[in-house]
């Protein structure tokens, strides 16, 4: 249901956001694919309770779209916390939906869409918009320096640390 937030087609976005952040759907390392209170819940199953970084990135982008940068940042923090514990800091396609990080043995790692989720999570955390110019509106507490972001054939330096700036390089 979190994917609906990015599309803008859901009538009850705030209710969906609240539901995703309940303890039975939100694990220490991201939002599960199924509530831990469901009978079918299995934290090691592909679609019955595991955590997929790319799904969480889609949710984070949707939360940012609806103005909930605080929740987008929370998801990013959880996924990045998981990445720090992974060998080589690589995100697999999924990991268990437990509150301790346990890999799913058959999960592909590294995984391209999980690697791409890092960029989507940074985009959501920065509130980055690319229109005629590159704009950022970072979530509170986001501290990043990113050099060499390319937009419209120009490279930029993005800094956030109690403020925000986008500077041409």
Per-residue model confidence (pLDDT) at position 14: 97
In order along its 169 residues, the chain shows pLDDT tens digits of 999 999 999 999 999 999 999 999 999 999 999 999 999 999 999 999 999 999 999 999 999 999 999 999 999 999 999 999 998 889 999 999 999 999 998 999 989 999 999 999 999 999 988 888 888 988 888 888 999 889 999 999 999 987 788 888 8
Distances (CA, A) of 80 to 3, 5, 28, 83, 126: 20, 21, 11, 5, 15
DSSP 82-116: HHHHSGGG---S-B-SSSS--B-TT--SS-HHHHH
Q: Which residue has the tokens 């986008």?
A: 166
């Amino acid at each position: 249901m979190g994917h609906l937030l990015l599309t803008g087609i859901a009538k009850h976005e705030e209710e969906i956001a609240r539901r995703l952040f309940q303890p039975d759907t939100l694990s220490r390392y991201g939002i599960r694919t199924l509530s831990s209170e469901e009978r079918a819940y299995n934290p090691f199953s592909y679609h019955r309770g595991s955590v997929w970084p790319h799904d969480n990135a889609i949710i984070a982008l949707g939360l940012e779209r609806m103005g909930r940068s605080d929740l987008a940042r929370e998801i990013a923090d959880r996924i990045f916390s998981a990445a720090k514990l992974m060998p080589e800091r690589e995100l697999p396609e999924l990991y268990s939906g437990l509150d301790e990080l346990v890999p799913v043995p058959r999960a592909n790692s590294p995984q391209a869409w999980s690697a791409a989720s890092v960029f989507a999570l940074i985009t959501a955390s920065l509130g980055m918009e690319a229109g005629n110019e590159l704009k950022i509106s970072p979530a509170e507490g986001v501290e990043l320096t990113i050099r060499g972001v390319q937009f419209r054939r120009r490279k930029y330096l993005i800094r956030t640390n109690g403020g925000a700036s986008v500077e041409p390089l």
